[in-house]
Amino acid sequence: MTMNRDDIFTKVQEVLVDALAVDDDEVSYESTLMGDLGAESIDFLDIVFRLEKAFGIKIPREELFPAESLMNDASLVHNGKLTDKGLNMLREKMPHSDITQFEKDPDINKLANLFTVKAIVNYIENKLNKK
């Protein structure tokens, strides 16, 4: 069964409504998980689990949300900003996210803004197309 982008969004929206106890009208493509929907780092594990179950896929650790591995490597962060090497790794690890704005000011405190509903939909769409 193939799913179009709207179907994927609807399922992702349902997952986020359940996991984060938000209303479905709060979940738009541009919503950030932490800033707009109030997710905390502990919620990310629950979201991944629910996405795996909803879509029948396996999401390897840090494939969807790779922030931890980036921030824990001193060669990737300098003075609170991702280095060029860090940005390259981010591009590689998060092809499902648009990092254009983040690249202008790669402050690691703004990394969470890349975790959007749209990024999840892009990720799921890519995963399902590879099945």
Name the phi and psi angles at 77, rounded to 5.
Answer: -130, 135
Q: Each residue of 13-72: pLDDT tens digit? A: 999 999 999 999 999 999 999 999 999 989 999 999 999 999 999 999 888 888 777 777
Give CA–CA dist 8/11, Å, rounded: 5
Give CA–CA dist 36/25, Å, rounded: 12
Residue 63 burial (C-beta neighbours within 10 Å; 0-12, 13-18, 19+)? middle
Residue 127 C-beta-side C-alpha neighbours within 13 Å: 20
Q: What is the pTM of this model?
A: 0.92
Mean pLDDT of the chain: 92
